[in-house]
């Protein structure tokens, strides 16, 4: 048969957790008033629970800190990627704007000097800020040879008489290229006009990188 101490000690954990019925709670409290041993055991239970709670609290804050660190790393990686994407697109569209502001007007072989002047004057008339360069057939052939580098001997059979490369007028301007195209496209002496206004910005950027 259990004595009163044994009964109370069995109830001390539940008493400390505050889950005893009122009758059992009164029994424990009355016993504790007169039993130092059970009172000491209760203090040990309280101390043990306090230590456990402290460990749980530390683990909880460690978990929060760990989660915060993970979140910060994810946010940092996201912003690094976002920054790279933004900078890349800025380069792509700066390159596009630079190339899209240029055009090449290829001329017919039988074009006259007067027709060339007329085309130049019309372009200047329609443009605000413009860089204009006439490239003769000979200059165009020399350019191509330079671009071919070691393979330029492939063009050795071409001379000024058999040169298949047309003369051209190269333009760079702040004016909308389409405005210039519309004003000169029907003028005599023009073979065709090349612009980049409908080109894919990313393709233009890749082409520029590959040429370097």
Q: List phi, psi (to 5°) of 14.
A: -70, -35
pTM of the entire predicted model: 0.54
**Structural tokens at position 144:** 């191509």
Q: For residue 133, name the pLDDT band (cuts at 50, 70, 90).
A: very high
Output the CATH code of domain 102-211.
Answer: 3.30.70.3040
Per-residue pLDDT band for 53 (boundaries 50, 70, 90) equals: low
The residue ranges of DSSP E strands in the chain, in sequence order, are 102-107, 130-135, 168-173, 190-195
- pLDDT-derived band at 28 (thresholds 50, 70, 90) equals confident
Give the separation between CA 167 and CA 139, rounded to whole angstroms: 8
Phi, psi for 189 (deg, rounded to 5): 95, -10
pLDDT tens for residues 71-96?
Answer: 777 888 888 899 999 999 999 988 88
Structure tokens at 163: 């040169």
- Give the tens place of pLDDT for each residue, 4-18: 787 777 777 777 777
Q: What are the DSSP calls for 37-97, one per residue?
A: HHHHHHHHHHHHHHHHHHHHHHHHHHHHHHHHHHHHHHHHHHHHHHHHHHHHHHHHHHHHH
- Asked if residues 118 and 183 have their Cβ atoms less than 8 Å apart, the reply is no
- Residue matched to tokens 């082409």: 207
**CA distance linking residue 46 with residue 70, whole number of Å:** 36
- Distance from the first to the final alpha carbon of the chain: 97
pLDDT of residue 1: 31
Backbone angles phi, psi at 26, to 5 degrees: -65, -40
């Amino acid at each position: 048969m259990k004595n009163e101490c044994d009964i109370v000690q069995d109830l001390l954990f539940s008493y400390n957790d505050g889950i005893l019925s009122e009758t059992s709670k009164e029994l424990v409290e009355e016993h504790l008033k007169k039993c130092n041993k059970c009172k000491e055991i209760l203090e040990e239970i309280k101390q043990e629970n306090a230590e456990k709670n402290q460990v749980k609290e530390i683990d909880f804050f460690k978990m929060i800190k760990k989660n915060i660190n993970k979140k910060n790393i994810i946010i940092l990686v996201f912003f690094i990627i976002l920054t790279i994407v933004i900078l890349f697109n800025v380069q792509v569209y700066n390159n596009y704007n630079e190339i899209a502001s240029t055009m090449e007007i290829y001329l017919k072989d039988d074009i006259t000097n007067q027709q060339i002047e007329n085309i130049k004057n019309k372009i200047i008339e329609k443009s605000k800020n413009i860089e204009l360069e006439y490239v003769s057939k000979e200059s165009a052939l020399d350019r191509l040879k330079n671009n071919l580098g070691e393979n330029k001997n492939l063009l050795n059979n071409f001379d000024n008489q058999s040169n298949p490369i047309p003369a051209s007028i190269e333009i760079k301007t702040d004016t909308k290229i389409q405005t210039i195209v519309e004003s000169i496209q029907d003028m005599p002496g023009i073979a065709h006009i090349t612009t980049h206004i409908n080109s894919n910005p990313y393709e233009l950027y890749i082409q520029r990188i590959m040429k370097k």
